[in-house]
A and B are shown apart, each in its own frame.
Chain A
Amino acid sequence: MIESALDVLGAGVLGLGLLLATIGLYGLLRMPDIFDQLHAAGLVTGPAVLVILLASVSTGSADIVTSAALVFVFVLVTAPLAGHTIARAAWLLAGADDDDASPGAPPRADSLSGDGMRTLVAYDGSDAAKRALGVAAQLAASGADIAVANVAPPLGEPDFAGSPEVEDPEQEMLLAEARSEVARSGTAAVTVRRRGDAVTELLAAAEELEPELIVVGSRGRGPLTAALLGSVSAAVAGRANAPVLVVGPTAVLGEGPIVVGVDGSEASLDAARAAARLDRSLGRGLEVVHSYTLRPIPGASAVPEARAELAQVDEQRAEELLAGVADALGVPREATQTVRNGSEPAALLGLARDLDATLLVVASRGRGAVRAALLGSFSMSILADAPCPVVVVPPGARASSPG
């Protein structure tokens, strides 16, 4: 009797411990900031392990209970100490960051103040970033104002930590490189110096500068790898306050129009608006595309007339949708077209290839990386094999942008 009660208790306590560890680990994966992560990590290193050790009582073995008690006491003492040490280090390092911005430090975030399209480019010297910079330089040639942002790693080198007023030479070198690249198109770029987590800092820089377009390079990781290992471009594209131009490994700026896909949803309409704004700056022409598949009707194949009729209804609906979008955007009706029988990504990509599109504009539903990998993300699948750079319009860009 007592034995079975102990068994149930032990199983329950063990399950609770593992559940705590799972929750903590999930938090650790989802939270970007070190202080938030510490909270989640504390759940694993402290309570989870302690509760699992408590379950030893149900084994009824004196050996195990004694050893477990020893580990219990040790973890009880060291887990908070280790957590505190890490938190203190994070605090000190962040403090050193703040000093960076104080007088004497290199100037930060010059403002973007031209008449052209305000464009923020992320540059870290990688191949992907070089491609992004190349595209940005081409945009600059058509009159965009460029700000180049570099996010230095958060104080890996103690030398800088000791003397925060000293410029980070690598950052300066990268920014000088970027400036000269943009200068070849005849315009001067302003520079933004940041330090810390790439995604957080880029988003913060975007909040500050309020650009009309953010340009990032993508290493071309697939959705699954991106979810597991993290993808800066995908994270920025999901959470930014402006449309994000993602330059993939094979993407080149075409000579044709800007292609935007619409499906009648509010999100896609906002993407179309963003595309229209880009077109006003670039003057490449706009192509609004609606692709749809014929609704499968069971038994319809037996009655060809009915099938044709249904196809007509679908076609009419698509036409009406496009007419509505064209009206809303104030573009001529000729700038829109429908693609029938295309699953959307394939149809859009095919059209972009055929038209030699300058840019491809799609809406992002703002799904997190994990959900996007599991449930499939439209924008991610487009990004993976687009022939031209893709502009992802995140939900945050819609809320803040005027018409």
Chain B
Amino acid sequence: MPDAVAAVALAWATLLVLGGGVVLLRSHDTLHRVLALDVLVSIVVALLTILSYLRDVSYYLDAALALALLSFVATLVAVRHLTRGIPS
């Protein structure tokens, strides 16, 4: 992959991270925040993926995997806590 393409993609993804930050700041209750964080982590995973394309090394993808795992567990736990005590 040409470096220029990866560099542009990296810049774009960085802007998206900022956008995700805005979504997080705007969210006004816990559930919205959980959703915003889930999306933000997804964008960071995409960012790390593009970084690994740009640098041509695979370590960043491992970091992305770890981050995605943490985010998944965190989402489940946060939602579990939120809905505690509600009969389903």
CB contacts (< 8 Å) of B85 on chain A: these are: 158-159, 161-162
Return the chain A residue nearest B32 by Cβ. Answer: A34
CB contacts (< 8 Å) of B76 on chain A: these are: 81-82, 85
Total contacts A-B at CB 8 Å = 179
Are A14's CB and B38's CB within 8 A? no
Are A18's CB and B38's CB within 8 A? no
Binary CB contact string for chain B from 22 to 63 against chain A (1 if under 8 A, 0 otherwise): 110110111110111011001101100110110011100110
Are B46's CB and A48's CB within 8 A? yes
CB contacts (< 8 Å) of B46 on chain A: these are: 17-18, 21, 48-49, 52
Number of chain A residues whose Cβ lies closer than 8 Å to a Cβ of chain B: 64
Binary CB contact string for chain A from 11 to 31 against chain B (1 if under 8 A, 0 otherwise): 100110110011011001100
27 contacts between A and B (CB under 8 A): A10-B5, A14-B5, A14-B6, A14-B50, A18-B46, A21-B43, A25-B16, A25-B20, A28-B39, A34-B32, A45-B38, A48-B46, A64-B53, A67-B65, A70-B61, A71-B68, A74-B68, A75-B45, A78-B72, A82-B72, A90-B31, A92-B83, A153-B29, A158-B81, A162-B86, A197-B29, A230-B28
- A residues lining the B interface (CB < 8 Å): 7, 10-11, 14-15, 17-18, 21-22, 24-25, 28-29, 34, 37-38, 41, 44-45, 48-49, 52-53, 55-56, 58-59, 61, 63-64, 66-68, 70-71, 74-75, 78-79, 81-83, 85-86, 88-90, 92-93, 95-96, 153-156, 158-159, 161-162, 197-198, 228-230
- B residues lining the A interface (CB < 8 Å): 1-2, 5-6, 9, 12-13, 16, 19-20, 22-23, 25-26, 28-32, 34-36, 38-39, 42-43, 45-46, 49-50, 52-53, 56-58, 61-62, 64-65, 68-69, 71-72, 75-76, 79, 81-86, 88
